Amino acid sequence: MQELIRNIAIIAHVDHGKTTLVDAMLKHAGVFRENEAITERVMDSNDLEKERGITILSKNLSVHHGRYKINIVDTPGHADFGGEVERVLTMVDSVLLLVDALDGPMPQTRFVLKKSLDLGLKPIVVINKIDRPGARADEVVDMVFDLFCELNANDEQLDFPIVYTSAKMGYAKLDMTSESTSMEPLFAVVESNVHPPKGDAKAPFQLLVTNIDYNDYIGRIATGKIYSGKVKTGETLALIKQNGAISKGRISKLLGYEGLKQVEIPEAVTGDIVTIAGFDDVGIGETLASAEAPEALPYVAIDEPTISMNFIVNNSPFAGREGKMVTSRNIRERLDKELRTNVSLRVEDTDNADTFKVSGRGELHLSILIENMRREGFEMAVSKPEVIFREVNGKKLEPMEYLVVDVPSEFQGAIIEKMGPRKGEMTSMQPMGEFIRLEFVIPARGLIGLRSEVLTDTRGTAVMTHTFHDYAPYKGEIPGRKNGVLIAMENGETTGYSLDGLQPRGILFLGPGIEVYGGMIIGQHAKDNDLDVNPCKGKKLTNVRASGSDDALKLAPPRILTLEQALEFIDDDELVEVTPKSIRLRKKELEPTKRKRKN
């Protein structure tokens, strides 16, 4: 059985088609019935994944093709979820490196490829979207080869097989000139190039836990690859914790994968990827081993967080109106629960019992957590994201990001000009048809608030992607937001009459008929100072009618900020108030006199 198992992960930059390729492989392997209704991107099971069209959590499945059992892991493409990818790569024996036939290698391609090369995996390169207009498959293969050389791949890794696919249309071929209507060539390459999992089937049992989930019926469940030995349902195993402590427990359920479904299996052998229930305090990176001869496997190190923000109990005048979970105990319990499965997250207590410092891999990583919490009924305030500095040999170091901007050539000047004050250094500039690809190394601090400015300057045509590069000496001060804000002076409901008078002062974030409180931010000021305004003023009515005074008001549509945009917009003395129904911006200090005294 071990000889017929193939374990692969699909890795790529965001939007290069990983989940769509999994769909095509499932269809070809006959996992779906002829008449079965299939949703697109079937692996994106979480609501947020479906809405945003991105993969956030890595997922397992397995398909049978001929005599072979192929275990496939679909991984996220965003750099913020890199912790998921690093863990998963320890479970597999090869990776399908997916590259877009037009875009070529992108920042996250470099990141995930470096991780897999360091682990000694031999990738199979899949050039996807070959049916896309402007596809340049041969050129992209050369770019991928250059990237392998740059990342110091060994000779065996450089001799990678290449498959050309259109995951959307469901076909693969081994060279661009041949015809194909199915994914068969891809399966053939996987079966002949991926070696079966190593490990001694007769040795004592060992499994490294790489994923944790929770099931309401059977409790905590741990997923991982069996490194040696075999295991049966009901067997007693030893759990070896990270600190070396050993406890024993019994397997209540042993689950394997058949297509997308988890099914109960009586036993599993070396090399298979399985899920085990029965150990309530199991953690990621720990080992489940034979009770007679418990021996730990090496722990998987995960890159440290680069950004932190404070989660604060909501104390605004509207606190407790919309959320069910509002106390510090509720928030602490939810963060502890998240820590069990989210390996890249860190939570620390602060001097204030109502404030928790939460650190993650990037703004998106933390904003997904906040979005999930508000959907579960939580209410809280969140501070501006801050970069985590390090001190090495008395020197202050800060995280740097590798940034790639694809932009029409007419806007390249505006982008280069933006990078100067933000301490970005250009490393490369390449023409790509009508677009130009600009590559920079920039402090992580410089990325906060950059996306919205770049989209405004390029009329929404720029495509920005970034990934963690390295730590480098502190680059000096970076200027913050240029504009001040419009702050409501009193509690009440906004009126169209009042907002019409405020329109020339800046950009409004809300329309008429919205409840506000004193200290809440209602818009962006056109100048660089904050301005207290009254958006609730009603029109004084008289019994005299004058021409022109009864004209209909023409209010410009307000700028509605998403959670990510709100986190990028706020300054150090401001907070984002997050509830299940609303996202509001506010000053930390709501009283105008106290605020002025502090400033």
Same domain as 513, residue 461: no
Instruction: Print the domain residue range for 268.
Output: 206-290
CATH number (domain holding residue 467): 3.30.70.240
Residue 314 counted as domain residue: no
Residue after which a domain boundary falls, among 259, 290, 321: 290
DSSP classification of residue 137: H
Q: Binding site residues for GTP, as ranges?
A: 15-20, 128-131
Model pLDDT, residue 41: 46
**Whether 507 and 457 share a structural domain:** no
Query: 269: how many CB neighbours lie within 10 A of its CB?
Result: 17
Residues 532 and 590 in one domain: yes
Rounded to a whole number of angstroms, the distance between the first and last alpha carbons of the chain is 70
> Are 402 and 433 within one domain?
yes
Please indicate, yes or no, whether residues 170 and 216 belong to a single structural domain of this protein: no
Helix (H, G, I), strand (E, B) or coil at 71: strand
| CATH code, domain with 253 | 2.40.30.10
Q: Which of 161, 193, 225 is the last residue of a domain?
A: 193
Q: Does residue 301 belong to any structural domain of this protein?
A: no
Report the alpha-carbon distance of residue 594 to residue 573 in Å, rounded: 12
Other C-beta atoms within 10 Å of 549: how many?
9
Give the global pTM.
0.75
Question: Counting beta carbons within 10 angstroms of the beta carbon of residue 597, is it exposed (0 to 12), middle (13 to 18) or buried (19 or more)?
Answer: exposed
| 320 inside domain | no
127 and 263: one domain?
Answer: no
**Per-residue pLDDT, 42:** 46
Residues annotated within a binding site: 15-20, 128-131
Give a yes or no: residue 591 inside a domain. Answer: yes
pLDDT at 433: 74
Cα 367 from Cα 436, distance rounded (Å): 30
Q: Residue 300: what pLDDT?
A: 66
What are the start-end ranges of the H helices in 288-387? 328-341, 363-375
* Domain co-membership, 460 together with 496: no
DSSP conformation letters of 454-485: HHHHTTT--EEEEEEEEEEE--------SS-E
Q: Does residue 508 share a domain with residue 439? A: no
**Which of 393, 414, 400 has the alpha carbon at shortest distance from 107?**
400
Q: Which residues contact 68 (CB under 8 A, 6 or more apart)?
A: 4, 5, 6, 191
CB distance 185 to 96 below 8 Å:
no
Helical pair 107-118 and 137-150, crossing angle rounded to 10 deg:
50
Q: Does residue 588 lie in a domain region?
A: yes
Domain assignment present for residue 147? The answer is yes
Q: Looking at the domain assignment, is residue 507 inside a domain?
A: yes
Neighbours of 231 (CB within 10 A): 22
126 in the same domain as 43: yes
Contacts of 414 (CB under 8 A, 6+ apart): 457, 458
Give residue 37's pLDDT.
47
368: helix, strand or coil? helix
Q: Give yes or no: residues 186 and 60 share one domain.
A: yes
- Domain of 27, CATH number, reads 3.40.50.300
Run means of pLDDT, 10 residues per run, the chain, 599 residues: 80 76 79 50 50 59 82 69 68 86 79 81 88 84 88 85 86 82 85 82 83 74 84 84 81 80 81 82 80 78 80 90 88 86 82 90 84 90 89 87 86 87 88 84 85 82 80 85 88 89 90 90 90 87 64 81 87 90 90 83
Count of domains observed in the chain: 4
Query: How far is Cα 133 from Cα 181, in angstroms, rounded to an integer?
Result: 19
Q: Assign residue 517 the CATH number of its domain.
A: 2.40.50.250
Q: What are phi and psi of 34, to 5 degrees?
A: -60, -40
- Let me know whether 496 and 466 are in one domain: no
Domain final position from 160, 193, 226: 193
Nearest to 516 by CA among 533, 497, 529, 535: 535
374 belongs to a structural domain: no
Does residue 542 share a domain with residue 410? no
The dihedral over CA atoms of 504, 505, 506, 508, expressed in degrees to the nearest 10, equals -90
